[in-house]
Structure 1
Amino acid sequence: MPSPVSVRRAGVSLTLCCTLLVGATACGSDDKDSAATPSGTSTAEKQKFAKTRFVANAGLAAGATYQWIVKPFRAGKFKKGANGRTTALVKAGLAGAFTYNRLKAATKNAQGDPTLAKAVAPLTAGIDSLKDLPAKLRKGESTDSIVNSFDGVINSVKDAGKGAGAEVKDKVPSAGELKKG
């Protein structure tokens, strides 16, 4: 059983991290993504930029999911009584919110390429279903199904990208990238 001090510290850390994440999400990355394409570019160049941004955002989502959700789950860190469970669940919750944010940005990026947009379109409902899961993950609720949901959506996005010529590889985000959200 964690000590009251460690629980309090985890609560303060969670509050601070959530505040940073909400602030970064409220600032939005969608405007940055749309501004990243120069206005005088050809359609082919815009499609190339769309694929590049899609791969970058989806890769960050995949890396965060693997590093802070799937890997600790497989190591048994989310089980009741596990050493470091609270910290692992808080990190997983934050990674889940980051993953959702990056996947939303990736689907917006995909709209710039017709083939990629067609491949990713069926996945939007799955991505939207992830929205409320980070809070449940932080609380330790039904971690098996939540981890499987994140892993399944990430694998679907990777498959869709590969089929459209935009192969996604895991890229573990730095702490700075997590804060930017």
Structure 2
Amino acid sequence: MSRSVRRGAAALLLSSTLLLSTAACGADTTQSLNSGSAVAATPSASSTFEKQKLAKTRFVANAGLAAGAAYQWIVKPYKAGKFKKGADGRTFAMVKAGLAGAFTYNRLKAAVNNAKGDPLLSKAVAPLSSGIDSLKELGTKLRKGEVDAADVGGLEGVINGIKDAGKSAGAEVKDKVPSASQLTGG
């Protein structure tokens, strides 16, 4: 048998095995769920505590990434005049700012969702939801070069509000600049 035929046979055997084992696992899972034999996990005091702890941790991570992206690629370049017509590197700065705006909005929404797992944090963050919603089109405005001082000021206000809310609930947020792959969704 030639080498390529052996490789093809081995690949066929391996994929068939994986397919059959996956199908068998799926059947068992479906059968146990349909028969009602699966035991539902009941939350305990420790799982509630862990859920709240993870909610704060996730909130801090997402809010920190949002704050870092906003400052690094929107606020700082805006204050340096990178978005003004005729500025050196304006197009590249606006593209990065547009990506950062969309990323910031996404991470702030995730942070608010994380905050729902902790009662104190949820109460502290609740008033900021409308401010976060106002940032929905920020990425598009930045890419088009339509951003102004009010937009950047509003962004800074929302970020500072999130940081203050986290601090008041025992979840201090520090800026964490995301990597380029995080920023582009990679």
Q: Give the shorter-chain TM-score range.
A: 0.7 to 0.9
Partner amino acid, structure 2, of 1:45 = E
| Residue 121 (structure 2) aligned to one of 109, 116, 120 | 116
Q: Is the 8 A contact 1:158 1:167 kept in 2?
A: yes
* Residue in structure 1 matched with residue 52 of structure 2 by the alignment: 47
For the 8 Å contact 1:110–1:117, the answer to whether it is kept is yes
Structure 2: runs of 5 or more not aligned: 1-42
Aligned residue type for 1:52: T
Looking at structure 2, the residues matched to 76 and 172 of structure 1 have their Cα atoms a distance apart, in angstroms, of 21
TM-score between the two structures when normalised by the length of structure 2: 0.74
1:59 has 2:73 as partner = no
Runs of 4+ in 1 over 6 A off after TM superposition: none
Q: CA deviation at 1:179?
A: 2.8
Distance in 1, matches of 2:165 and 2:74, equals 22
Q: How is 1:65-76 mapped onto 2 (pairs within 5 angstroms)?
A: 65-76=70-81
Name the structure 2 match of 1:101: 106
Instruction: Find 2:95's aligned residue among 90, 101, 114.
Output: 90
> What are the Cα deviations for residues 83-131 of structure 1, in whole angstroms up to 9, with x where unaligned?
0111111111110000000000000000000000000000000001100
Structure 1 residues without counterparts, runs of 5 or longer: 1-37
Equivalent in 118, 123, 130 of residue 125 of structure 1? 130
Contact 2:99/2:184, CA 8 A, preserved across alignment: no
Which is higher, the Rg of structure 1 or of structure 2?
Answer: 2
Deviations 1:118-154 (A, max 9, x none): 0000000000110012111111114212211211110
Give % identity.
Answer: 75
Structure with the bigger RCO (C-alpha within 8 Å, sep 6+) is 1
> Structure 1 pair 142/178, CA: closer, same or farther in 2 (3 Å)?
closer
